[in-house]
Amino acid sequence: MEYLNGLNEPQRQAVLHTEGPLMIVAGAGSGKTKVLTTRIAHLMANGVDSFRILALTFTNKAAKEMRERIEHILGNSEARNLYIGTFHSVFARILHGEAHRLGYPNSFTIYDTDDAKSVVKTVINELNLDDKHYKPNTVYNRISAAKNALVGPADYKNDYYIQQEDMRSNRPLIAQIYDAYNKRCFKNGAMDFDDLLFNMYRLLKEFPEALIKYQSKFRYILIDEYQDTNPAQYEIIKLLAAQHENICVVGDDAQSIYSFRGATIQNILQFQKDYDDVSVIMLEQNYRSTQNILKVANEVIGNNKGQIPKALWTENTAGEKIKLVRTMTDNDEGKFVSDAIQEQKLRNHFLNKDFCILYRTNAQSRAFEESLRRMGIPYIIYGGISFYQRKEIKDYIAYLRVVVNPQDEEALKRIINYPVRGIGKTSIDRAVLYANEQNISMWQVLERAKEFGYKAGTLEAIENLVLMIRSTQSMMAKHNAYEIAFHIGKQTNFVKELFNDKSAEGVARYENIQELLNSIKEWIETPLNEEDGEVGDKSLGAYLQQITLLTDADQKDPNADVVRLMTVHAAKGLEFQCVFVAGLEETLFPSGLSINSREELEEERRLFYVAITRAKQRLWLTYANTRYRFGNLVQNEPSRFLEEIPEPFVDRTFAGGGPRNQTSGFGGSSAFDRMHGGFGAAAQAEKTYGPPPARKKETPSYLPAKPQAPKVVEHTPSENFVPSDTAN
Ligand code: ATP
Ligand code: MG
């Protein structure tokens, strides 16, 4: 029971309370995730079969870390049998054994967002609608939102409010597209990400034997980040937990940041009504952050109405004050951050991996990338284009997908004439057309190509392709994913073609394919950690299933000594010694799209709260006077959230940089600066460090700012933030 040592009293209670519904509501850094992990270890240490524990996390990475942690606590590898992962990956695993009940092949393909949008576009075109008006992206988002609210095509069409909304946006036919899209995916033997939830729900709802099977299987259910479960996830959990009711959810209403995806904090409030005898445990001691950081976080979130009251305190030291840094431009902001990282590494012996740069939108990463690169500081960006989204990788994987599921029209279209084999666009369009007319799959058209009057040359090419796929399929029984992938590379001219392309891009693409093959090999060589049945094998199907659900965050080495850059959304649950929250400007953070109602603004504030509470030791909040957005130079007021930060906890600095435009108000002309006497602080900074170098009005934003000495900010000892007396 060594694992219980070091837990505080409410944490211990939460771990030891194993039977019956339990909800832990607690602020950031109070050990919610730690409690979940320890609880699982505790259950296993007390003889609970690991196959019977279901734990749902927000990212695959979190799941992996939990599994490792549990193995460490227990000193054995039993944790490999846990059903632990994201909702999507756990449900995909279950559906791979159950999809036949719903009429899908068990080897169904999972469509990522690109595939899904491509199908949406195909369907829009086939319905003779204008894809400039019915933008595939917009339509896909509507469909996705509907699925996450468990609204199927028929319900969508009959829902008065949804229909009103579509009428208002002048897109009354989305219901029709939705229906056609679903049918097309079904015909392709494919599910999109949202289908993994929707179909899991249908499985439990429509097939009582499946419901009973999984209800009795999962004796213990644990859910992290419960505040962000959406209606589909919520309903599924409710069904699964109904028999044993050993369900433990942990969450923080102040960190609910996905209401745009259909998650609402109602879940937390509803939990107590859903079960009798719910135990509620609050955790109030924060172990992550300094007092100053915590105080600022508490103050900020205190501006939201209708929160569950919490009093978060810490025994940690007061720490440094929060640095509030203004720069002239977004490039100066990038430069300031890189300088500060360099300086902290030298002065305080931090490593690269102790730093995280957070921003509201992915587009903001550019300025940081440039300056980090110039300074030679290694970094990785989360949320960029993921390895598996690269064209050559998608093309290669499309071959593998067709072998496993030839009904997958999206994959088939990618490879039918790549590398070029003489099946031209007209022939492909005809294949799709025939398939639609005859209500068969495109693959079936190819198999029966003779019947459809193709020219001799085209016919031969099609028959060769069919033959190649079939012969590869026949290997599947005896060969693992790597052997098949390797075989495909040899059979098609794919790898050879890339190899012959000696341009820089060609070489990079070739290397990527090598990397893909290596990663498959590595996957083959990692011991199985699944129970038999379901996807516990090293088949090609099992491989494809798991990679589609990998986010790029999962593919990056968590221990690499590099600075991390990501959006605030992606940072949920993580912690870093030093955090920069950048771009704190009106219309950026809070987002200009989210300032029209109190609800939206409060969500942005919760997002800001999440950002602040990632920091353990040091926190910088930065904003720029001007920045390029969507190709235009814009001038922003500082974020309203900065006004909510109590003055005694911050140090203000102007980190200079050259103005893009001398008339743009250099020297703190903004209302915010005037309000807080920031002009003085800025002026002082100028005095100390000299005025910023004047630059020509039209200096493009991508040019480097003139080198400047790193700023050294003086600190005064801070007031202590005394633990609240509610903590007893
Ligand atoms: P978030 O809301 O951001 O997800 P959380 O509530 O899940 O945070 P954890 O990530 O579990 O918090 O814990 C935050 C940090 O505090 C971790 O580094 C964890 O190891 C540490 N911690 C939690 N409880 C204790 C404890 N009793 N003693 C020492 N350290 C602890
Ligand atoms: Mg957590």
Nearest C-alpha neighbor of 191 from the set 410, 373, 14: 410
H or E, element range at 222: strand 220-223
> CA-CA distances (angstroms) from residue 465 to 359, 423, 438, 459?
47, 10, 22, 10
pLDDT in tens, 154-190: 999 999 999 999 999 999 999 999 999 999 999 999 9
Q: Name, in order, each residue with C-beta under 8 angstroms of 474's C-beta and a sequence gap of 6 or more.
A: none
User: How far is ligand 1, taken at its centre, from the CA of residue 610, in Å?
Assistant: 14
Task: Answer yes or no: is the C-beta of 615 below 6 A from any ligand 1 atom.
Answer: no
Q: How many CA atoms lie within 13 Å of 543's alpha carbon, on the beta-carbon side?
A: 28
Is 333 within 8 Å of 582 (Cβ atoms)?
yes
Q: What is the mean pLDDT of the segment spanning 356-374?
A: 92
Q: How far apart are CA 21 and CA 6, in angstroms?
A: 24
Greatest C-alpha distance within the chain: 85
For the chain, percent of residues with pLDDT exceeding 90: 67
Ion ligand 2: residues, CB < 5 A: 32-33, 573
Determine the pLDDT at residue 98: 96
Task: Spell out a b/e string for 510-528, using b for 16 or more CB atoms within 10 Å of the CB, else e.
Answer: bebbeebbebbeebeeeee
- Is 33 annotated among the ligand-binding residues? yes
Task: Answer yes or no: is the C-beta of 10 below 6 A from any ligand 1 atom.
Answer: no
Q: How many CA atoms lie within 13 Å of 164's alpha carbon, on the beta-carbon side?
A: 3
Asked if residue 44 has pLDDT above 70, the reply is yes
Task: Answer yes or no: is the C-beta of 282 below 6 A from any ligand 1 atom.
Answer: no
Among 421-435, 510-524, 613-627, 708-722, name the one with the lowest average pLDDT. Answer: 708-722
- Is 32 annotated among the ligand-binding residues? yes
Tell me which residue has its CA closest to atom 26 in ligand 1.
7
359 beta partners: 567
Nearest C-alpha neighbor of 104 from the set 196, 181, 194: 196
Q: Write the ipTM.
A: 0.99
- Is 453 annotated among the ligand-binding residues? no
Q: What is the mean pLDDT of the segment spanning 530-549?
A: 71
The closest ligand to the CA of 254 turns out to be 1
What region, left, alpha or beta, does residue 280 occupy, with left being phi > 0 and alpha being psi -120 to 50 degrees? beta
- Ligand 1 atom closest to the Cα of residue 11 is 27
Asked if residue 726 has pLDDT above 50, the reply is no
Phi, psi of 355 (to 5 degrees): -110, 140
User: How far is ligand 1, taken at its centre, from the CA of residue 304, in Å?
Assistant: 24
- Ligand 1 atom closest to the Cα of residue 7 is 27
Task: Answer yes or no: is the C-beta of 51 below 6 A from any ligand 1 atom.
Answer: no
Q: Name, in order, each residue with C-beta under 8 angstroms of 363's C-beta and a sequence gap of 6 or more.
A: 629
Per DSSP, 389 falls in state G
DSSP class per residue in 280-311: EEEE-EE-SS-HHHHHHHHHHHTTSSSPPP--
Q: What is the mean pLDDT of the segment spanning 516-542?
A: 72
Q: What is the mean pLDDT of the chain?
A: 86
Determine the pLDDT at residue 660: 54
Catalytic residues: 32-33, 224-225, 255, 614
Among 319-333, 548-562, 571-585, 702-716, name the one with the lowest average pLDDT. Answer: 702-716
Task: Answer yes or no: is the C-beta of 316 below 6 A from any ligand 1 atom.
Answer: no
- Is 321 annotated among the ligand-binding residues? no
Cis bond before residue 419 (omega within 30° of 0): yes
The closest ligand to the CA of 34 turns out to be 1
- Ligand 1 atom closest to the Cα of residue 28 is 2
Among 303-312, 325-334, 355-364, 463-472, name the one with the lowest average pLDDT. Answer: 303-312
Strands 190-192 and 109-111: parallel
Determine the pLDDT at residue 404: 95
- Is 496 annotated among the ligand-binding residues? no
Task: Answer yes or no: is the C-beta of 31 below 6 A from any ligand 1 atom.
Answer: yes
What region, left, alpha or beta, does residue 689 occupy, with left being phi > 0 and alpha being psi -120 to 50 degrees? alpha
Task: Answer yes or no: is the C-beta of 466 below 6 A from any ligand 1 atom.
Answer: no
Tokens 């085209």 correspond to 458
Q: Name, in order, each residue with C-beta under 8 angstroms of 150's C-beta and a sequence gap of 6 or more.
A: 198, 201, 231, 232, 235
Residues constituting the chain: 728
- Is 27 annotated among the ligand-binding residues? yes
> CA-CA distances (angstroms) from residue 638 to 22, 567, 580, 585, 670?
42, 19, 16, 4, 8
Q: Name, in order, each residue with C-beta under 8 angstroms of 293's C-beta and a sequence gap of 6 or more.
A: 319, 322, 612, 613, 615, 616, 619
- Is 306 annotated among the ligand-binding residues? no
Determine the pLDDT at residue 268: 82
pLDDT in tens, 231-278: 899 999 999 999 999 999 999 999 999 876 666 667 788 898 999 899
Determine the pLDDT at residue 533: 42
DSSP class per residue in 616-627: EEEEEEEEEEEE
H or E, element range at 152: none
DSSP 3-state percent helix, strand, coil across the chain (nearest 5): 55, 15, 35
DSSP class per residue in 574-602: --EEEEEE---BTBBTTBGGG-SSHHHHH
User: How far is ligand 2, taken at its centre, from the CA of residue 563, in Å?
Assistant: 21
Tell me which residue has its CA closest to atom 13 in ligand 1.
31
Q: Is 189 helix (H, G, I), strand (E, B) or coil?
A: coil
Phi, psi of 374 (to 5 degrees): -60, -35
Out of 33, 58, 308, 576, give the residue to mutate to test ligand 1, the one with the largest number of ligand atoms within 8 Å of its CB.
33
- Ligand 1 atom closest to the Cα of residue 27 is 2
Instruction: Determine the Cα angle at 385 with ends 381 and 386, to 5°.
Output: 90
Q: What is the mean pLDDT of the segment spanning 508-516?
A: 87
Out of 30, 222, 314, give the residue to mutate to test ligand 1, the one with the largest number of ligand atoms within 8 Å of its CB.
30
User: How far is ligand 1, taken at its centre, from the CA of residue 547, in Å?
Assistant: 30
Asked if residue 431 has pLDDT above 50, the reply is yes
Task: Answer yes or no: is the C-beta of 231 below 6 A from any ligand 1 atom.
Answer: no
User: How far is ligand 1, taken at its centre, from the CA of residue 197, in Å?
Assistant: 29
The one-letter code for the residue type at 541 is G
Task: Spell out a b/e string for 603-640, using b for 16 or more CB atoms within 10 Å of the CB, else e.
Answer: bbbbbbbbbbbbbbbbbbbbbbbbbbbeeeeeebebbb
The closest ligand to the CA of 287 turns out to be 1
Q: What is the mean pLDDT of the segment spanning 59-82?
A: 90
Asked if residue 377 has pLDDT above 50, the reply is yes
Radius of gyration of the chain (CA): 28
Nearest C-alpha neighbor of 35 from the set 46, 45, 52, 23: 23
Determine the pLDDT at residue 539: 86
Determine the pLDDT at residue 333: 96
pLDDT in tens, 269-309: 889 899 989 999 999 999 999 999 999 999 999 999 878 88
Task: Answer yes or no: is the C-beta of 29 below 6 A from any ligand 1 atom.
Answer: yes
Q: What HEC string does 35-46 produce?
A: HHHHHHHHHHHC
Q: What is the mean pLDDT of the segment spanning 471-494?
A: 91
Q: What is the mean pLDDT of the segment spanning 80-86?
A: 92
Q: What is the mean pLDDT of the segment spanning 385-407?
A: 90
pLDDT in tens, 558-571: 789 999 999 999 99
User: How far is ligand 1, taken at its centre, from the CA of residue 224, in Å?
Assistant: 13
Task: Answer yes or no: is the C-beta of 6 below 6 A from any ligand 1 atom.
Answer: yes
Asked if residue 716 has pLDDT above 70, the reply is no
- Ligand 1 atom closest to the Cα of residue 30 is 6
- Is 424 annotated among the ligand-binding residues? no
